[in-house]
Structure formats: structure tokens, C-alpha cells
Amino acid sequence: MSMATTSFTKKSLGLETAEPAVTPPPASNHTTFAKKPKLGTSKSKKREIPEGLWTKCPHCSTMVFDKELEENLKVCTHCHYHFPISARERIQALVESNSFEPMDTEMSSVDVLQFTGAASYISKLAKYQQSTGLKDAVVTGIGKLGEQQTALGVMDFSFLGGSMGSVVGEKLTRLIEAATAKRLPIILISTSGGARMYEGMFSLMQMAKTCGALAYHGQARLPFISLLTDPTMAGVMASFATVGDLILAEPGAMIGFAGPRVIKDTTQAELPPGFQTAEFLLDRGLIDAIVPRKEMKARLIDYLNYLTAGQNQPVLA
């Protein structure tokens, strides 16, 4: 269950910005140094290239102009591959401008187990807090989608593989409890390697805690939409992410519990093609709909309106 979250680094997903095969004509005037031809050595050190010009699509290998990619909500303009997107970018793409009020922004993990592997947990936390500007792997708060006030929890894979430790669990639980008290619908957007191994059992407890809070939210007859994005695995998949009234996924998202290699080794069976993709799980009824990122906001608003119809009237005692 505690996946080796650190193996899901940005690099292993093949998403580092690569140099374009052809130099874009007028983009820069830095022609002082002639470019050396590419050598086939895989060991060549990472090149110093200007940030934010082109990104190679890991799916179709097209070089996509970064500006175009941003405008397209980080979906490949050629093959519609959905690139990873930060929690902040996702929130910005969904809520009405200036409507989002974040909660518990300063909550940060304590190293209860004094965990030390290749590096100490404390140093890992510091590193990811620095690189992401986040205190932990989820951003929570209340914002407006269309006319609907909504409790929104969005995970960020770039913080320790989106792993769920006590902070992710606690922030989500507080969000869910606030939504129940204020009678708001909840949307949780997951991307995670699973429970955070650095916090051991404390991470596993978050599975029950978040689901418990969601059960009370459900008893109050309030809707919860779960959106699974690439990848949603292990302890997150086995807890709050799969108890939505509606479970949505982005196209091509990898969704599952244990990784395919572990399952293959354990069962000694050939896995069917497309195993653990959103499309495979849609076919088998685990998820309700696959929604492209560009349509996400409009579809979520439709679903919210449908699920909350009649709920915004004053409750008669």
C-alpha cells in the first residue's frame, strides 16, 4: 500500500522539457553559440535550455510550443495527451476568478516516525516545499463553479508523488466537515501514488478518516464528485477517491491499487490490454464518465446543478 512514491518523479514520466529538434526561427536572438549536433549518448548531462519554450509530448513526441500548451490547459494540441498539471493551475482553470478561499494553507507535517531512508523525511519535506511552494500535496478551499459555492480539494503530484500523509488527510477531512456544516457539494481531484510511506500507519489512518467524514457528508444528502487524474493509485484509490456519488476521470489516466508489475508477478497472469486505464475502468463500470480537461469546468457545473437541484431552497424545519 505504501507505494514507493519517490519513484514517480517528474522525470520518469518523460516530461522534462526537451530541446526542439529544429530551432524555432525568431524565438530568441541567442545565436552567439552555434549548437552542437545531438550526440546519441544518453548520459549527456542535462542541457541548459531556456525554460518555457517547447515541451516534447511523451505520448506522440510532437514538440509543443509551451504557450500553446498553457492555453490548451496542458493538453497536447496534437494527440490530446493530458500533461500533469499543478493543483494551483487546476483550481485556476475551474473556479470563477477571485472566488477561491484556501483553507489550512500553513499546515505542515511532523516527522513522527523520525523516518530516514536515503534521505530524512524532514529534508524531503523541505525540498518539496521549496520546489512546489506548497506545504503538502493537497490544496483545499471553497470557491465558486458557475453559481455554485463548492468545496474543492485538489492534489498535486509534484509534491512527493501526491502521497497522502497526515496533512493531506487532515486538510481533506476539515474541508469535508466544513462542506457538511455549510451544506456545500464537494469535488476532490486526485493524483497520487498512494499513502505516504514516511508516515507509516499515520498515513493509512487517513483513509478511514477521510471516508468517515465523507459518510457524514453523504448522510446530509450532499453530493461528492471524485475526479481521478493521472495517476491515482493505492491508498488514495482505495479510500476517498472511489466513494464519490459520481466518479469521473481524465482521458488516459492510470488508475489502480497495486502497480501492474506487482499484480503480474503476484498472479502470474497476463494482464489484459489497457489494464488500469480510465477507459478500461469506464467499460467495467468503476467510473462513470471520462471528461477531457477542456470540457471539465462546464461538465462539473452541469453535474453540480443536477445533483444540487432543489437543495438551495431554505430547509423547512
Q: Write out the three cell numbers for 303.
A: 453535474
* Binding to Zn ion, residues 137-166 (CB under 5 A): none
Query: Which DSSP letter does residue 59 get?
Result: T
Please count the other Cβ atoms lying within 10 Å of the Cβ belonging to residue 314. 5
Q: How far is the CB of 241 from Zn ion (least distance, A)?
A: 26
Q: Mark the segment that binds Zn ion (CB under 5 A) among 71-79, 217-225, 228-236, 283-291.
A: 71-79
Nearer to Zn ion, 16 or 288 (CB): 16
Nearer to Zn ion, 69 or 197 (CB): 69
Rounded-to-integer distance, Cα 278 and Cα 158, Å: 21
Nearer to Zn ion, 3 or 64 (CB): 64
Rounded-to-integer distance, Cα 100 and Cα 96, Å: 8
Q: How far is the CB of 59 from Zn ion (least distance, A)?
A: 5
Instruction: State yes or no: residue 76 binds Zn ion (CB under 5 A).
Output: yes
Q: How far is the CB of 78 from Zn ion (least distance, A)?
A: 4
In the chain, where does DSSP find H-type helix? 66-71, 87-94, 121-132, 166-182, 200-219, 234-237, 260-267, 278-283, 293-307
Q: How far is the CB of 294 from Zn ion (least distance, A)?
A: 14
Rounded-to-integer distance, Cα 98 and Cα 90, Å: 14
Q: How far is the CB of 293 from Zn ion (least distance, A)?
A: 13
Which is nearest to 45 in space by CA: 54, 53, 36?
A: 36
Nearer to Zn ion, 76 or 246 (CB): 76
- Residue 17 contacts residue 51 (beta carbons within 8 Å): yes
Nearer to Zn ion, 76 or 176 (CB): 76
Which is nearest to 113 in space by CA: 164, 161, 166, 162?
A: 166
Can you list the positions of beta strands (E) in 26-76?
A: 54-56, 63-65
Nearer to Zn ion, 49 or 60 (CB): 60
Q: How far is the CB of 9 from Zn ion (least distance, A)?
A: 21
* Binding to Zn ion, residues 258-317 (CB under 5 A): none
Strand partners, 63: 56
Rounded-to-integer distance, Cα 200 and Cα 204, Å: 7
Nearer to Zn ion, 154 or 253 (CB): 253
* Binding to Zn ion, residues 44-63 (CB under 5 A): 57, 59-60
Instruction: State yes or no: residue 8 binds Zn ion (CB under 5 A).
Output: no
Question: From residue 199 to residue 238, what is the string marking binding to Zn ion with x (rule CB under 5 A)?
Answer: ----------------------------------------
Q: How far is the CB of 193 from Zn ion (least distance, A)?
A: 24
Which is nearest to 5 in space by CA: 238, 235, 168, 222?
A: 235
Q: How far is the CB of 66 from Zn ion (least distance, A)?
A: 14
Strand partners, 205: none
Count, residues near Zn ion per rule CB under 5 A:
7
Rounded-to-integer distance, Cα 6 and Cα 40, Å: 28
Please count the other Cβ atoms lying within 10 Å of the Cβ belonging to residue 292. 13
Question: From residue 78 to residue 107, what is the string marking binding to Zn ion with x (rule CB under 5 A)?
Answer: xx-x--------------------------
* Binding to Zn ion, residues 13-42 (CB under 5 A): none
Binding positions for Zn ion, rule: CB under 5 A? 57, 59-60, 76, 78-79, 81
